[in-house]
Chain A
């Protein structure tokens, strides 16, 4: 592995080079993504600020989830999928040759649309699953310590502290999703990707997840895909609007501070979308 890729090894986990006044956590340059021969997103460039919630909005099929999945290199897991362009995590291109996608994913965590706790693991083991991968958290004491810290962060601790040995599936959908958030936080990523994390949940659970995003943004860089514009307006400081063009390929239309994008959109298409004229 070349020297430039050293920061993507497991040993660098938790180390944050952005201690200084870094303005950009994650920088996307001319990113295009394919599924087989089909182009899904074209030439997307934008910068994600540290400790900020950035929302990716747009109608179905605009490529917002694809963009999100390119940021932790999980897009390429799909058979036939490919990516071109540059994604820099604190100045390091995660698509540079020699970079191990496994190491990238340890620094860029992800929460999925449908809660997906591991059904054969207890709540406790779900939380520490990522740490167990690198041989940490062997003893129950260590597990409990990590579980309490991350489950408190995910606002789930009080609800599950007495049943940590029960299956993750014994929880409600909203609790499962917060468990998945705790699981993603346990490996101490710098960036947390969230793919419509509340779309499968009831309004109360949704509100909890949204509150959580704001709290987590004090420590993490959060990028959230949502089809719900109100949600984007509520939780994010920055918003990117994506839209599929005539040829069905997703492009970035507008990107800026959330209040500006929702009150004074620069692009005609953004205005049409946020005023509900399509999508």
Chain B
């Protein structure tokens, strides 16, 4: 027989490349597992001392040793959910305008500007929120809302300027560029034949966007919103500057609140006792878990929505 006809060539490059890819992937898996382990170990003392009660207790007094995480969980989730609700509407509208309606002469610089906004450090948003938005909220926006909708518990009580609504607005402002920039890419990526199919049926530009382009871009837009939500959940400095930093659960959006990330940043340097430190690490673990759960839930939601339409 002699030499086999299709003798494998020993390819060093391929193997090295495959290993490099493997390694970098598994490095991140290891990192996440490591992070989780460290957080769990660090917060073990708190978990042992308070147990699950920690999650539902709402008093926070390090001096007397009362630690409850509920106000922070509440603040984190409420501020992020309001932010993504606003940012999704504004961001998707902006993306649709840039991709479909704006003349190229305007669309290009605008798109660049929006991407630039995504790169502004959050402390700058925080400063702007504290010195511009909060005073305006106290003197103009807040009273205006309250005069119309003050009967709702949501808009009742004194308006301090800083508070849940201000924080939500700042967060929304920060994540709009993320939603808009990514959504725009996906909207532009919708195949021409989808647009033309709708136009050929006698659709106007707006109908084409609403009925053909946006549905086709939905998975990407959804992904953009999940990414933006993740950013809002973990945002620390801007939120800390405008949310008021009071560990209380209030029905009113004008009332101050607190988030997981903010309390960790604010109090870590002041934490004197072991159990205090351990509690703050526990809050970090909570934030970590909430982020993962929200991401997973969003993904599951997206899959069910898409499957419903595509595999019926």
Contacts and interface: CB of A to CB of B under 8 A. Distances in A.
A105 B311 contact: no
B193 A167 contact: no
Contacts of B310: 119-120, 167, 169
- Where chain A touches its partner, the secondary structure class is mixed
Given A114-B193, A119-B310, A133-B207, A74 B216 contact: no
B272 to A, nearest CB: 57
A23 interface: no
B197 A116 contact: yes
A74 B201 CA distance: 11
B202 A133 contact: yes
Given A109-B200, A110-B200, 13 more contacts: A74-B200, A77-B196, A79-B104, A112-B196, A112-B197, A116-B194, A118-B197, A119-B194, A120-B215, A120-B216, A122-B309, A166-B311, A166-B312
B204 interface: yes
B212 interface: yes
Contacts of B207: 133
A226 interface: no
A180 B215 CA distance: 18
A5 to B, nearest CB: 15
Interface string A105-135: 1100110101011111110000001101110
14 contacts: A74-B196, A74-B200, A77-B199, A102-B203, A103-B202, A110-B200, A116-B193, A118-B194, A119-B310, A120-B310, A129-B201, A133-B202, A167-B309, A183-B197
Looking at A10, A102, A117, A121, the one whose CB has the most chain B CB atoms below 10 A away is A102
Contacts of A155: none
Contacts of A183: 197, 201
Nearest to A123: B312
Contacts of A167: 309-312
B53 interface: no
B198 interface: yes
A28 B194 CA distance: 28
Contact of A187 (B197, B199, B201, B309): B201
B193 to A, nearest CB: 4
Nearest to A168: B310
Nearest to B215: A120
Nearest to B202: A106
Contact of B216 (A119, A130, A170): A119
Contacts of B204: 102
A129 B312 contact: no
B312 A122 contact: yes
- Name the residue among B196, B200, B201 with the largest chain A CB count within 10 angstroms: B200
A112 B201 CA distance: 12
B76 to A, nearest CB: 33
